Amino acid sequence: MNLEVILLILVCGVATYTMRALPLLLSKQSRKPSHHTKEKPSISSVSSSNISQRKFSIDSEELLEYIPLCVFSILIFPPLLIKNSSLDFPLTNPEIYAAIFAAIIYKLTKNKLLPGVLAGATFLVITQIWF
């Protein structure tokens, strides 16, 4: 085995794991109780902190509905539309039609994953054989 390759794999693995674990570390730090707030809080400070907590939870809940779509858009659009570092024009790209067909079947089958994916894959194979 090539030692340089092994070392590279391990270091890249550590870098990737750091990216995965960083939000956990940051969220844990934010959960630590503050040592400076030992005195009994006044009514006004309690109510204002409750309001800010509620506001934060609504915001984060809303954000959680949008962020996955952001991540999925990165995983879907560039691989479908960019070929060899340039935009593959939709009219000449059968993968676009196959993806649209898969989306339609997915919606028609009331969000069943397998029929949608199979329909898209079959459509792509047929169009590539046909053309």
Partner 1 sequence: MTDQTLNMRTSVTHGIVQIMPIMVPTFVLGMVFGAISRAAGLNVWEILMSSLFLYTGAGQFLFVTLYSAGHSFWTILLLVAILGTRHLALTGTLLDIYNTFSKCWRFLVVYWLTDEVFACIVSTRARKKIKVDKPFVFASSLTEYTLWSVSTVLGALLPLDTVPGISNYANFLSSIIFLCIALGLVTNIKKGIYFLCIGSFSVLFYLIIPSGFGALATIAVGVGVAALFAGKRQKGAVQ
Residues that bind partner 1 (CB under 8 A): 1-2, 4-13, 15-24, 27-28, 31, 55, 58-59, 62-82, 85-87, 95, 98-99, 102-103, 106-107, 111, 113-114, 116-117, 120-121, 124
Q: Which residues, including other chains, have CB under 8 Å from residue 131's CB and lie 6 or more apart?
A: 94
Amino acid letter, 103: A
Give counts: helices (H), strands (E), the chain: 4, 2
Residue nearer to partner 1 on the CB measure, 7 or 126: 7
Residue nearer to partner 1 on the CB measure, 39 or 68: 68
Phi, psi of 83 (to 5 degrees): -125, 130
Least separation in angstroms between CB 36 and partner 1: 24
Least separation in angstroms between CB 54 and partner 1: 10
Least separation in angstroms between CB 13 and partner 1: 4
Phi, psi of 109 (to 5 degrees): -90, 20
Amino acid letter, 20: R
Least separation in angstroms between CB 30 and partner 1: 10
Distance CA 65, CA 67 (A): 6
